Amino acid sequence: GQNIDQPTEMTATEGAIVQINCTYQTSGFNGLFWYQQHAGEAPTFLSYNVLDGLEEKGRFSSFLSRSKGYSYLLLKELQMKDSASYLCAAPSYGGATNKLIFGTGTLLAVQP
């Protein structure tokens, strides 16, 4: 089976750095996604990691350790608009569907 775990809520201060962790147990591995979802809106793609290590995209970075079944999303120089849910997801392994298995999402509140 597959399971994705992430904290349900986090709070951080504008201008600070926050790290959102995600652990996964999958029968195989086919990469890990992070999506951002503002309330009432569609999830939008942030990152996709297949290899170990850190990938940086502007203020957002994503890290993967396949041996530990662990990923994190790092948000720097937080802005109020970063208040959103951050969804960790893994494609289902085997077959060609690539359906995504999601965690519950982490609701990040950025405070002034």
Partner 1 sequence: GAGVSQSPSNKVTEKGKDVELRCDPISGHTALYWYRQRLGQGLEFLIYFQGNSAPDKSGLPSDRFSAERTGESVSTLTIQRTQQEDSAVYLCASRALGYNEQFFGPGTRLTVL
Q: Using CB under 8 A as the criterion, which residues of the chain lie in contact with partner 1 when the complex forms?
A: 4, 31, 33, 35, 40-45, 48, 87, 89, 91-92, 95-105
Tell me whether residue 78 or residue 85 sits nearer to partner 1 (CB atom): 85
Residue with tokens 């850190």: 54
Tell me whether residue 74 or residue 107 sits nearer to partner 1 (CB atom): 107
Tell me whether residue 31 or residue 76 sits nearer to partner 1 (CB atom): 31
How far CA 96 is from CA of 48, 92, 93, 99, in Å, comes to 18, 9, 8, 9
CB of 63 to partner 1, least distance (A): 18
Residue with tokens 């009432």: 40
Three-state secondary-structure class, residue 81: helix
